[in-house]
Structure 1
Amino acid sequence: MRTINTNVAIIGAGTAGLAAYRAARAEGATAVIIEGGQYGTTCARVGCMPSKLLIAAAEAAHAANHAAPFGISVGSVQVDGEAVMARVRRERDRFVGFVIDGLEALPPEDRLLGHARFVDDGLLQVGDNTRVHAASVVIATGSKPIVPEVLNGLGDRVVVNDDVFEWTTLPRSVAVMGPGVIGLELGQALARLGVRVSVYGGRGSIGPLTDPKLVDAARTIFGEAFHFEPRGTMLSATRVDDGVRLRYRRADGTTTEDTYEYVLAATGRHPDVGNLGLENTTIELGEHGVPRFDPHSLQVDRHPVFIAGDSNGILPLLHEAADEGRAAGRNAAQYPDVAKIERRAPLAIVFSDPQIALVGARHRELPADSFVTGEVSFEDQGRSRVMLKNQGRAHIYVDRATRRLVGAEMLGPSAEHIGHLLAWSLQMRLTVDAMLAMPFYHPVVEEGLRTALRDAAAKLAAPR
């Protein structure tokens, strides 16, 4: 049995794990990074990058199919499913290759391949032949998809987003269970590529939206993009010769049945910490077996253990995972001198069409009467109408007392870009007046943001 002694052991070589390793080494600590699966981050292998490749193909097909309103005829549009998926996999592998190159550039003695489990508080077993004594540990094992129990027994007819990017061609039909970020992005992309798609929801929510007016607008818009059942219960899922037979009860009590080639489980992800042997330690576990930790320092109770990235379930986003990894690696190396993580302004984007962006506090998190809502509809917004992208609306939340931006929810064109402007404004603690003093070019979609800011300023000035 080989034994390794190190200052910091990092479990997981994804975005958070790599950032933790580099931060620990930058502090002068010795460190090893342990990977139990394939090299390549969730983002590069099965997340943000391959999904955007599929979405890009879908946007090209959609643009060709909807050129007629511009006075352009392109004839019959043919989607070659094999060619689409070949490009997705080829470019995905290219992105993964960059990550692997970076990992393999690390010193060989700092890289361990094998499943890691805690033997006790400071001792890890890696594979069958290696033990690691570590003064501090960073858990960065990421997350895994949730598959609802109703889908048990469907075999290879039930897939998660990881599986989609291994397809060699497009299926004929897919039922998407869950209208969250993954369900919206992949469901709409597949529908635009000619796949018969139905998206099934539970409680009527749409992606990460919480503002009731935006949720209502999203239900209508996405209901025109694919067959959408936003509120109800999946009663049964049965394997049949040609796929899966689903039976679904709507909120009004009516039921519907249909058969699909595949069911895509898109009901969320949870931290992947179940096989770490945490029961062998004195660490106290919380919901889903996740160690109880301080979200401000990422420290697990009073232990020299830190948890970062998707494995802690706070903000499962790449840039947040990188920030948390750096903070965890630094704290692990400097333990017991532990510092709070410096958080950026919250920003989340869904690459649907129209796009969704959330910045800062969500509508449901804000105390009633503490803010005003600046509103804009994109239906008649100039540049949006020129591009025939005139769907959706944006709501900007401004604090009544300070006049500062506190949050925003948006469903509309260029949300990925406007979201960044709003996140920067929030992080700079700008007031609505300071934001309105910024330049707005004409004609751009961002003029819609100015409309919303003007609406907020007018509401602040109105008597209550």
Structure 2
Amino acid sequence: MVNRATKPKRFDRNLIVIGAGSAGLVSAYIAAMVQAKVTLIEAHQMGGDCLNTGCVPSKALIKSARVAHLVSTAARFGIETPTPVINFQTVMQRIRDVITAIEPHDSVERFTSLGVDCIKGYARFIDPWTVEIDGNRRLTAQSFIIATGAEPLVPPLPGIDKSGYLTSETLWNEFAKRRVPPKKLVILGGGPIGCELAQSFQRLGAQVTLVELADRLLLKEEAEAAALVMESLRADGVEILTGHKAVRFEPDKRLIVEASAGLRQIIYDDVIIAMGRKPRVTGFGLEELGLVVNGKLAVDGFLRTNMTHILCAGDVAGKQQLTHGGSHEAWYASVNALARPFRKFKADYRVLPRVTYTEPELAAVGLTEADAVHMGGAFEVTRYDLDELDRAIAEGERTGFVKILTAAGSDRILGATVIGENAGEILAEITFAMKHKMGLRKILATIHPYPTWSEATKYAAGQYGLSHKPEGLLKWAERWFRWRRG
């Protein structure tokens, strides 16, 4: 039953933020910078999933795996080396060291110095204006931001409770205890997390089987780009089973999967569930306030819940699942919370880039070609292949392309996909151009240093220019110069 307590006449805080991941930290920071009295409550670790179990440890793992792969393939650069020896304990310790090095950026000490009141504890709403922390302290606020993140989605498969499964959250502590990587590793889910982990652990010595229900990997991305990622994973030795449905786990570490050809068993030592994430909404008193519908917060375009003084940001909002997306939403949520009721800003997701950190790297922003077709508007596609880029040729990394969608009859960018070495870095210029409504001609007119990966964007813009030459003017110029020659 919804508790609709009387609104207090005085409040302890202007804003209370629940959750100290990327969205919560940015929300608290913004509030402190405008001199609002803000409290940040975190039950577990500052930095949230990104620092402790997500972006940071996974990218540290990917770096070790890439170094191992580079050593093992060094002969193609004229360097003869012995087969690399993987010290798995050292790899996992390095990941811990990287987290430790970054922790101060998200620490209680730093945010306290910025003017944020940081409380370690578990916050629960007891009415729309009051939270209770660990059952013994109560605080009221004019506004709240829920930034409790998300948790791995674990399917209710028969036998899964006794399978010993790991998730993107639990694998780090478990593997930190190991002297060697898992011998036979099964990963369920062919999204970004599953693909990154599959390639990394394969390169570090595991034999990985990646199981995906759909007929291809990375469903949100351009099909031809996803195909290059799948080709690369297979070249590394990953067994990829697309079109396979996980059916059940057997007690003796066997996973039964089903495809059109029938049932198949996969023997494993470890299994990682990477089938997505669900908003973390249980246990905060949100259900009792009537804010949770079908396991999710009901959120409007301004990131407000059904009670407009309670907003949310980050994974829990359910709009996207990206660290930088959480920070992006935090700006809207905090400004809408603090400026209420005088101003409000609708969250804008049109220029929200994303990167899958496989090799080749896959980066995208805005619409894919499938998105544009579905929307029905007229558009053009411009493509530049990286095997023509001098820097790519010099480094022996010629796989990939830049693909840009523009509105028909205009150089206005609707979306882009980049796949290849440093794709995320290449994409940044396109994202900037989209954000500030600059077209491809502006990119083409910008001087890019030679030879760099960023030139790929310029050459893609050049391809667009070539396909839109002023043919009539050029014919007139040809006649003019012919006349000048006599």
2:336 partner amino acid: N
What is the distance in 2 between the residues matched to 1:456 and 1:315? 31
| Superposed displacement of residue 340, structure 1 | 0.4
Residues of 2 paired with 1:11 and 1:369: CA distance? Answer: 41
Question: Following superposition of structure 1 onto structure 2, how do residues 16-55 of structure 1 map, counting pairs within 5 Å?
Answer: 16-55=23-62
Q: Is 1:300 matched with 2:296?
A: no
Distance 1:301-1:65 versus aligned 2 partners, 3 A rule: same
Number of the residue aligned with 1:313: 318
Q: Distance in 1 between the 2:150 and 2:68 partners?
A: 32
SS in 2 for 1:157: coil
Deviation (angstroms), 1:355: 0.1
Tell me which residue corresponds to 1:354.
Answer: 360
Query: Is 1:159 matched with 2:166?
Result: yes
Deviation at 1:288? 2.4
Once the two structures are TM-superposed, the CA of residue 282 in structure 1 deviates from its matched residue by 4.5
User: Please, which of 74, 82, 90 is the counterpart of residue 81 of structure 2?
Assistant: 74
C-alpha RMSD over aligned residues: 2.6
TM value normalised by structure 2: 0.86
- How far is 1:266 from its partner? 0.8
Tell me how far 1:417 sits from its aligned partner: 1.1
Unaligned runs of 5+ in 1: none
Shift of 1:117: 1.8
Matched position secondary structure for 1:131: strand
* Residue equivalent to 1:234: 246
Quick one: distance in 1 between partners of 2:256 and 2:163?
19
On the 8 A contact 2:127/2:289 being kept in 1, the answer is: yes
Query: Are 2:29 and 2:111, in contact at CA under 8 Å, matched by a contact in 1?
Result: no
Map of 1:270 onto structure 2: 278
Contact 1:157 1:262 survives alignment (8 Å):
yes
Q: Where does residue 134 of structure 1 map in the other structure? A: 141
Give the equivalent residue in structure 1 for 2:225: 214
Please name the residue that 2:344 is paired with. Answer: 339
Contact kept in structure 2, 1:55 and 1:189, CA below 8 Å: yes
What is aligned with 2:5?
none
Cα drift, residue 41 of structure 1: 2.5
Aligned match for 1:197, one of 205, 208, 226: 208
State the Cα distance separating 1:334 from its structure 2 match. 2.8
Which deviates the most, 440-449 or 411-420? 440-449
Structure-2 change in CA distance of 1:209 and 1:391 (3 Å): farther
- What one-letter code is carried by the residue in structure 1 that aligns with 2:443? M
Give 1:247 deviation, angstroms: 2.0
1:249 aligns with one of 238, 245, 258? 258
Q: Structure 1 stretch 361-370 or stretch 114-123: which is displaced more?
A: 361-370
Distance 1:204 1:257 in 2: 19
2:424 match: secondary structure:
helix
2:334 to 313, 320, 329: 329
- CA distance in 1 between counterparts of 2:108 and 2:254 reads 44
Aligned counterparts of 2:134 and 2:289: Cα–Cα separation in 1: 18
- Percent sequence identity is 24
Per-residue deviation, 1:33:
1.6
What is the alpha-carbon distance in structure 1 between the residues aligned to residue 239 and residue 388 of structure 2? Answer: 26
| Among candidates 173, 178, 190, match of residue 184 of structure 2 | 173
Question: Please, which of 421, 427, 439 is the counterpart of residue 431 of structure 1?
Answer: 439
Partner of 1:124: 131
Distance, in Å, in 2 between the alignment partners of 1:171 and 1:388 is 31
Measured after TM superposition, the shift of residue 273 of structure 1 is: 1.0
The whole-number CA distance in structure 1 between the counterparts of 2:209 and 2:103 is: 31
Q: How many angstroms apart in 2 are the aligned matches of 1:210 and 1:13?
A: 30
Residue 476 (structure 2) aligns with: none
1:146-186 deviation digits (Å, cap 9, x = unpaired): 11222753447211111222222322221111111111111
How many angstroms apart in 1 are the aligned matches of 2:49 and 2:290? 30
Q: How far, CA to CA, are the matches of 2:439 and 2:370 in structure 1? A: 21
Is 1:364 aligned to 2:364, yes or no?
no
Distance 2:74 2:429 in 1: 30
- Residue identity matched to 2:190: P
The Cα shift of 1:4 comes to 8.2
DSSP-derived class of the 1:118 partner: strand
Relative contact order, CA 8 A, sep 6+: which one is greater?
A: 1
- Secondary structure of 2:330's partner? helix
Change over 3 Å in CA distance of 1:55–1:5 after alignment to 2: same
8 Å contact from structure 2 (residues 112, 118) kept in 1? no
Asked if the contact 2:402–2:419 (Cα under 8 Å) also holds between the matched residues in 1, the reply is yes
The CA deviation at 1:232 is 2.0
Aligned residues: 454
Structure 1 residue identity aligned to 2:410: T
Give SS of 1:149's match. Answer: coil
Question: AA paired with 1:86?
Answer: Q
If you compute each CA radius of gyration, which structure gives the higher value, 1 or 2?
2
State the distance in 1 between where 2:437 and 2:79 align.
Answer: 46
Return closer, same or farther for 1:108/1:387 CA change in 2, 3 Å cut-off: closer
Secondary structure of 1:150's partner?
coil
Work out the CA distance in 2 between the residues paired with 1:185 and 1:206. Answer: 12
Structure 1 residues 336 and 435: CA distance shift in structure 2, 3 A: same
Name whichever of 124-133 and 96-105 sits farther off. Answer: 96-105
SS of structure 2 residue aligned to 1:352 = coil
Whether the aligned pair in 2 keeps the contact of 1:159 and 1:262 (CA below 8 Å) is: yes
Q: What is the distance in 1 between the residues matched to 2:377 and 2:145? A: 42
SS in structure 1 of the partner of residue 335 of structure 2: helix
Higher deviation after alignment, 38-47 or 214-223: 214-223
The alignment status of 1:64 with 2:71, answered yes or no, reads yes
